Structure 1
Amino acid sequence: MKLRNQVISDSVIELDAKEVHTLGPNLRLENCTINSDCTTRSLIASNTEMVGGVFNQRKALKNFQFDRVIFSGVKFTGTFIGCDFGNNSESLPGKALDCDFSQAKVHDSRVYECDPERIGFPAWPRFTIVNPYLARDYVMSQAWPADMGIRMGVYTNNPPRCNAIFGDAEVFAKEYKIGQDDLRRLLEKIPGIVIVD
């Protein structure tokens, strides 16, 4: 499916895994629902604006950069791993404004150039570090179980334009062989941590 040079309102857009789907350029989606089974290789999004609506990722989307998409008031559901929302460079237009991740399964994913106070944060066992660069000194001074310190170092080694990073405590607990309750106690000490029950 190729959607470009148009405004689409109040529609359901189905993106299957059978073909490459192109969103943009010059595409505006208003109060639409996107149901996506796309992989990173089967989705191209450039100069697209999505206002309101739902982006439902039914199969895990891994390592996708939404750096050329402006999301405003969008609710994300489904699974996003290693994805970036917004732009990590001033030369790119992407933004994620007033978006809701409260029902999304997000892990190793970042949000750039947003107001963290206007984000719907994902619920535990997902967690968020707001302005992770501000937590770097604390993170680097701690003794973490197994190799968790390496990942926490990566999480906090982001520029100031990265306003939030999401992690999944279930994944952490399994990888670093630590109980979720013990992990939560460690996470709760990190500056800027947000845990929603």
Structure 2
Amino acid sequence: MGWLTNVLIEDKTSENERLELTDKDSLYFLGPNLTLRNCTVVLKLPARRLRILGARFINCTFEVKQELINHQDWIRAALKGCWFKGRLSGCDFGHWPEYGKEPEYQLGSIEDCDFSEARLDHCRFHGNDPRSLRFPKWPGFTILDPIRHIAELRDLAWPERFGSSLLSLLDQSPENLYKHPRSTMALSFYAPVEAKKSGTAEEAFKAAIAKCDFIVS
């Protein structure tokens, strides 16, 4: 792999622009001191090529053209009224203050955002009331306020491998609080992916969540 070109988008406010972050030879930095309003941001790059360093996105659309995997930098972004399209896995959004002490981590927030046209799996949302967000419909499903509902989740008839993984993810013992923070307000999964991992059918997940008003699908 050759040298990457740093693309710095910082210290400005932009409206009604289209930003295409798609160059395979570039490393993109969004922020600090960046505000985008009513913009379209096209992402076609691996997570390691995108750095968010304290940016505000207001009424923006994110078109994710290549699955974005394990991208935690969203927690250094303030997102309001935004739309997400495409596949995201293992991503974190919102306010996770313990993740880092740098000022940009304290800017993280998410409200009034729409993920209904996205495919989310193992994505976490931190901080604010998750009911201001729109999540994907089935075969996606989202557990709201999962830590408070851990007793009910333990009693559901999940496929065994998924159930064990979920309870481990919510483990609040002191040694796990950095990995499994109390700030988690919602967890989103994609049933076909989880069914394949568990060696079971999607319907097994649908049956487990059917009677829970704190799981949306």
Relative to the length of structure 2, the TM-score reads 0.84
Number of aligned positions between the proteins? 195
Unaligned runs of 5+ in 1: none
Relative to the length of structure 1, the TM-score reads 0.92
1:28 partner letter: T
Unaligned runs of 5+ in 2: 1-6, 172-179
Question: How much has 1:12 moved relative to structure 2?
Answer: 0.4
**Deviation digits for residues 12-33 of structure 1, max 9, x if unmatched?**
0000133100100000000000
Instruction: Report what 1:185 is aligned to.
Output: 207
Question: How much has 1:56 moved relative to structure 2?
Answer: 1.2
Question: How much has 1:117 moved relative to structure 2?
Answer: 1.8
- Greater helix share, structure number: 2
| 1-structure distance, mates of 2:42, 2:161 | 36
Instruction: Report what 1:67 is aligned to.
Output: 75
Question: How much has 1:39 moved relative to structure 2?
Answer: 1.1
CA contact (8 A) 1:29 1:51 kept: yes
State whether structure 2 residue 17 is matched by structure 1 residue 11.
yes
Instruction: Report what 2:60 is aligned to.
Output: 53
Q: Which runs of 4+ in 1 moved over 3 A?
A: 141-144, 154-160
Pick one of 74, 77, 80 that aligns with 2:88: 80
CA contact (8 A) 1:3 1:27 kept: yes
2:78 partner letter: I
What SS class does the counterpart of residue 183 from structure 1 fall into?
Answer: helix
Question: How much has 1:69 moved relative to structure 2?
Answer: 0.5
| 1-structure distance, mates of 2:157, 2:203 | 17
Pairing of 1:1-197 with structure 2 (within 5 A):
1-16=7-22, 17-65=24-72, 66-89=74-97, 91=101, 92=105, 93-142=107-156, 144-157=158-171, 158-190=180-212, 192-195=214-217
Question: How much has 1:146 moved relative to structure 2?
Answer: 3.6
What SS class does the counterpart of residue 45 from structure 2 fall into?
Answer: coil
CA contact (8 A) 1:98 1:115 kept: no
| 1-structure distance, mates of 2:114, 2:61 | 9
2:199 partner letter: K
| 2-structure distance, mates of 1:163, 1:106 | 15
CA contact (8 A) 1:131 1:160 kept: no
Across the aligned residues of Structure 1 and Structure 2, the Cα RMSD in angstroms comes to: 1.7
Could you tell which deviates more after superposition, 75-84 or 171-180? 171-180
| 2-structure distance, mates of 1:39, 1:70 | 21
